[in-house]
Amino acid sequence: MNSADAEGSARERGVHSACTQTDGLSGQIPRLSKVNLFTLLSLWMEIFPSVEQQKKSQVKKAGLVVVKNMKIVGLHCSSQDLHAGQIALIKYGSRLQNCDLYFSRKPCSMCLKMIVNAGVNRISYWPADPEISLQYEVSNGDAKLDAKAVERLKSNSRAHVCVLLQPLICHMMQFVEESCYKCDFIQKIAKIQPGLSTDFYTDCRQERIKEYERLFLISSEEMHKQMLIILGLENLCENPYFSNLRQNMKDLVLLLATIAASVPSFSHFGFYCNESELTSATNQTLPQEIARHCMVQARLLAYRTEDHKTGVGAVIWAEANSGSCDGTGALYFIGCGYNAFPVGSEYADFPHMDDKQKDREIRKFRYIIHAEQNALTFRCQEINPDERSMIFVTKCPCDECVPLIKGAGIKLIYAGDIDVGKKKADISYMKFAELEGVGKFTWQLSPFYSCAPEHQTLTDQENGVPEEHSLPEEQQHQSKVACLGD
């Protein structure tokens, strides 16, 4: 996916990987493995905000991450008419050869036969409810026949079709919880609305945990075992394999919920431009839920960082002038990255010290590749100047990256702004505010709300929405239109 990775490919035991990982760099910070990052992104893509009305069907919406040479080249989700595997075939064709595909659900036989035929290297899937539902329709004959067909395709395929989940490294969950609680998005809410309960983030996180456990886990162990048997995974139904599998699944869902809660859907907060830029930014903003979804992608990437102090993630999307077969609508993936040392670097080769060190020679800033730079370097598609492109960065782009973003032709920047306007030793964030010709959206209180709080409060009261809870999606859209134009 991007910069230096000394982490070789995992050895698999049957269909389940029981890899051990080291505690990040020199034992100082934990680091999310690439396999788990790809798995989490596939789950997150499954719940990409709908751009169309989904029909009721026994086929479940699925997320897909396409990986080549351990670099992400595509993020997709199934649409109303097409499964994720079908979308991959349409978009990539024979270019799927030697790719690894990470699905949030086991693909059906219709998809599997096509992607196996394309010559993929590995197909990994989340071991819960597959595309053809078995959890609530175990007696469904077609679902069972499809599961048998999938197993026959799997046994006669050169592609490795498997479940690939890795246990989280020591202290990873604690590290994510602490960093999410301290992140810019949560702290800004607490700062601007000090009357909020100190348990605000905890409450958000608990809501997300319940929601994602319902979506991605099977509560009954017996039901889960029965499904694994139908899916041809009998060898995972015996302990300790089954208990390890369940624990790994629960840990990953908990991690996803924790990170997703750090960019909350909260009344009057979202990605907005400053009041002085309202006119120039009119008609440019994304719907708030899609912008939030993309920022969580960037936050997931940030936990791959090689920086001891600050993890930064960036993801670039573009909006085509015409529609697409993808469940993401006109949006398509360009590239992603996180901050890391140059490819092939050994960790001990470069300084890791931050700006608090008096000796400039042992500071990291002249050596580390920024998340935005990695996203641009390892992009899988060119940026079309005639289409709207956008980059999502977990913190304000620095003076080193701002000219690169503009020069690449990116039209919009969505960012946390914790360092905007600051100069910190060897790194400056002064150019971001002065940038012209590029729409800049930071996560903040709505300018419309700050200009006319009486009107906004009345709107809340009319709709029965308490101030400490999120607005309904329709209300969020109305507020956005009032601020920035539809």
When pLDDT is averaged across residues 113-129 and rounded to a whole number, the result is 95
When pLDDT is averaged across residues 139-151 and rounded to a whole number, the result is 81
Query: Per-residue pLDDT for 461 more than 50?
Result: no
- The pTM of this model reads 0.85
pLDDT of residue 12: 34
Tokens of 246: 């369940």
Query: Per-residue pLDDT for 319 more than 90?
Result: yes
Q: Which position has the higher pLDDT, 159 or 370?
A: 370
Asked which of 131-140, 354-363, 469-478 is least confident by mean pLDDT, the reply is 469-478
Map residue 299 onto helix, strand or coil: helix
pLDDT in tens, 193-239: 776 656 788 899 999 999 999 999 999 999 999 989 988 899 999 99
pLDDT of residue 131: 87
pLDDT tier at 138, thresholds 50, 70, 90:
very low
When pLDDT is averaged across residues 158-187 and rounded to a whole number, the result is 92
Q: Which position has the higher pLDDT, 348 or 439?
A: 439
Tokens of 474: 């329709």
Residue partners of 168: CB distance under 8 A and separation at least 6:
30, 32, 36, 248, 251, 252, 255
pLDDT tier at 363, thresholds 50, 70, 90:
confident
DSSP 368: P
pLDDT of residue 485: 31
Query: Per-residue pLDDT for 278 more than 80?
Result: no
pLDDT of residue 19: 37
When pLDDT is averaged across residues 55-81 and rounded to a whole number, the result is 89
pLDDT in tens, 391-411: 999 999 999 999 999 999 999
pLDDT tier at 347, thresholds 50, 70, 90:
low
Query: Per-residue pLDDT for 14 more than 90?
Result: no
Q: Of the segments 16-20, 67-71, 466-470, which one has the largest average pLDDT value?
A: 67-71
Give the whole-number percent of the chain exceeding pLDDT 90: 54
When pLDDT is averaged across residues 313-327 and rounded to a whole number, the result is 91
pLDDT of residue 74: 97
Element housing 272 (H / E)? strand 269-272
Beta-carbon count within 10 A of 3 CB: 24
pLDDT in tens, 75-119: 999 998 899 999 999 999 999 999 999 999 999 999 999 999 999
Mean pLDDT taken over the chain: 82
When pLDDT is averaged across residues 122-148 and rounded to a whole number, the result is 80
pLDDT of residue 466: 34
Q: Which position has the higher pLDDT, 266 or 123?
A: 123
Annotated catalytic residue, options 221, 372, 400, 473? 372
Q: What end-to-end distance do the CA atoms of the chain give, in Å? A: 35
When pLDDT is averaged across residues 250-275 and rounded to a whole number, the result is 90
pLDDT of residue 208: 96
Query: Per-residue pLDDT for 460 more than 50?
Result: no
- Are 159 and 120 in contact by the 8 Å Cβ rule? The answer is yes
Catalytic residue at 372? yes
